[in-house]
Amino acid sequence: MVFLLVLNIPLFLYGLKKQGVTFTIYAIYTVAVYSFGAWLITDVLPVDVSIVSPLAGSDLLLCAIFGGLISGIGSGMAIRFGGAMDGIEVLAVIFAKRLGITVGTFVMAYNLVLYIVCGFVLHSWILPLYSIVAYGAALKTVDFIVEGLDRSKAATIVTVHPNEVCAALSEAFECGMTITEAKGYYSDSPKTVVYIVVNRFQVGKMKELVHENDRSAYISIAEIADVYGANTDKV
């Protein structure tokens, strides 16, 4: 328990500099609770985790998948509410957005390199490969919890009936849009590009409204992690 806290001190100090006092206190508290829980399970409670899991038995695949899910839930909740489970997650919170990747992807990349090195050092790939499976499950869980269920979608709509399309979207979603005049390359005809940000539950309705007003409209949709602006419901 104490060793884990001491090992992460340099990264916590870096987090203090970049993320502030509150984040660092939450991170230290999270690691302390995690370390205490691990100490209880391994040294105090009558649970033998040295060979098998008390729930999944000796099935390593089940251990990897559900261990990753449980780990991802813990890490995701810690990050979502302003903390981190260890020093690597501190770095992930700081650098992930700057690198244009998710927190889970950052942690997965680090652990992928770590487990590949372990494979060469141990001359065995069974446990490293199962560990990669575990962190694959943890990655999706962390991203799901940190980014949330309502992660935004950016839609780019190319239409020849922009007034009708924009009016329908504005009435349905009560949000703003950005329009840009354009011209088709092959048709050489004038078109309008409409850019709108909606949540994942509005995508189906958005496509339906667009095609009701312009059956030939072209729609491309991309997932976005963050929306910034003085008024993010007006684009």
User: How do the pLDDT tens digits run along the chain, 235 residues long?
Assistant: 565 666 677 777 877 777 778 888 887 788 788 778 877 877 777 666 565 566 666 778 888 888 888 888 888 888 777 777 777 778 877 787 677 777 778 888 888 888 899 889 888 888 889 888 988 888 888 878 876 655 688 999 999 999 999 999 999 988 889 999 999 888 889 999 999 998 877 889 999 999 999 999 999 998 876 676 645 444 4
CB 49 within 8 A of CB 104: no
Q: Minimal CA–CA distance to 173: which of 147, 218, 207, 144?
A: 207
- The last residue of one of the domains, among 116, 147, 178, is 147
Task: Report phi then psi at 144, rounded to 5.
Answer: -60, -45
- The last residue of one of the domains, among 119, 147, 175, is 147
What pLDDT sits at residue 230? 47
Based on the fold, state whether residues 178 and 137 are members of the same structural domain: no
Based on the fold, state whether residues 58 and 164 are members of the same structural domain: no
Is residue 203, in this structure, part of any structural domain at all? yes
Based on the fold, state whether residues 143 and 165 are members of the same structural domain: no
Based on the structure, what is the number of domains in the chain? 2
Based on the fold, state whether residues 189 and 125 are members of the same structural domain: no
Alpha-carbon gap, residue 156 to 193, rounded angstroms: 7
Based on the fold, state whether residues 18 and 130 are members of the same structural domain: yes
CB 214 within 8 A of CB 159: yes
Based on the fold, state whether residues 157 and 142 are members of the same structural domain: no
User: Would you give the distance in Å from CA 2 to the centre of its chain?
Assistant: 30
What pLDDT sits at residue 195? 95
Confidence (pTM): 0.57
Strand-pair partners of 180: 193
Based on the fold, state whether residues 57 and 122 are members of the same structural domain: yes
Residue 88 is part of which domain span? 2-147
Based on the fold, state whether residues 45 and 73 are members of the same structural domain: yes
Based on the fold, state whether residues 87 and 121 are members of the same structural domain: yes
Q: Minimal CA–CA distance to 74: which of 115, 24, 19, 34?
A: 34
Alpha-carbon gap, residue 10 to 182, rounded angstroms: 52
Based on the fold, state whether residues 128 and 202 are members of the same structural domain: no
Q: Which two tokens stand for residue 23?
A: 């984040």
Based on the fold, state whether residues 25 and 63 are members of the same structural domain: yes
